[in-house]
Amino acid sequence: MNEIALERVYDYGGPSGGAVFLVDRLWPRGVSKERLEGVEHLKDIAPSAQLRIWFGHLPDRFDEFSRRYRRELDGHPEIQRPVLDALKDGPVTLLYAAKDPECNHALVLKAWLEEHR
């Protein structure tokens, strides 16, 4: 099975093989659409605005955030289809804008996708 990689959108240098998806609900500040040409924006796969605001990227809320976000993903399994289809053809990169590489929704999403492929 092909790999799912995570990369901060601000560090993204362009395609290196495989499909690339922006998995944030909001477009990242300061990033032009031209810079992400060819990247599919999957805003519906991101946490709901209400959950995102509650979480606030506070590390002490990460475990509860993960449970709630997984519940949201479980309630809408169709949103995973573009990523799972792309994984059949090669590796996938998920782009996210959060500053903390160890406390963000992309980590939860990656684990959830790996469990549901």
Residue 1, pLDDT score: 59
Residue 116, pLDDT score: 87
pTM above 0.85, yes or no: yes
Which of the residues in the chain have pLDDT under 50? none
Residue 37, pLDDT score: 94
Write a three-state SS string for the chain: CCCEEEEEHHHCCCCCCCEEEECCCCCCCCCCCCCCCCCEECHHHCCCHHHHHHHCCCHHHHHHHHHHHHHHHHHCHHHHHHHHHHHCCCCEEEEECCCCCCCCHHHHHHHHHHHHC
